[in-house]
Amino acid sequence: MRTIAKKIDWFIIKEEYVTTEIGYEELAKKHQIRRNTLCERAADEEWVKQRAKYREDLERKTVEEIAKKKAKQKAKDAVKVNKVCDKLLKRISSMAEKVVTAKELKALTSALGDIQKLKGIKSDEDKQEQEARIKALLHSIEKDMDKGHDAVKVIIEGAEEYAE
């Protein structure tokens, strides 16, 4: 009695292996092929390497998509903050004409300072202070390196989401 050889769609089998968690044993049973035949084909075509590359690419794309979504949300939030700040500035400027007491003036200047912080506006003094801090840190790092310290640990407050 003659057996009829069945047609095996290796493309589908390989794609299933590369893109899922299925193992050789289960894959061979599912497609009714000998495990050794499947293993030989997989080794010849380097399915394991292709699976690893597929997973790396998938992970990279996922991270990129998450970063894009976060960036879009931050941009939307920044636009909202700027709109609110602009409205507040208009109100404050109209109120400034009616300021009578030092207490009212102090409240207005405090509100203006808060708006500057929200909008990320820095005065020249703030920028100079920040530059001075950076120079002091660099000087401190150079001293540590001169003393033979190899590693430097930098901690930036408020940047936890970017830290590793």
Query: Which phi-psi region, left, alpha or beta, contains residue 149 (left: φ > 0; alpha: ψ -120 to 50)?
Result: beta
**pLDDT (tens digit per residue) in 23-37:** 999 999 999 999 999
Do residues 119 and 82 touch, judged by C-beta distance below 8 A? yes
Domain assignment of residue 115, given as a range: 66-121
Structural domains in the chain (count):
3
In a domain, residue 151? The reply is: yes
Q: Using a CB cutoff of 8 Å and minimum separation of 24, what contacts does 85-92 make?
A: 85/115, 85/118, 85/119, 88/115, 89/115
In a domain, residue 50? The reply is: no
Task: Give the residue ranges of DSSP H helices in 97-158.
Answer: 102-119, 124-146
If you average pLDDT over residues 56-83, what whole number do you get?
A: 88
pLDDT value, residue 158? 53
Asked if 113 and 95 sit in the same domain, the reply is yes
In a domain, residue 58? The reply is: no
pLDDT value, residue 16? 96
Residue 88, classified by CB atoms within 10 Å of its CB into exposed (0-12), middle (13-18) or buried (19+), is middle
Give this prediction's pTM: 0.49
SS3 at position 123: coil
Q: What is the overall mean pLDDT for the chain?
A: 79
Is 60 exceeded by the pLDDT of residue 126? yes
Asked if 41 and 83 sit in the same domain, the reply is no
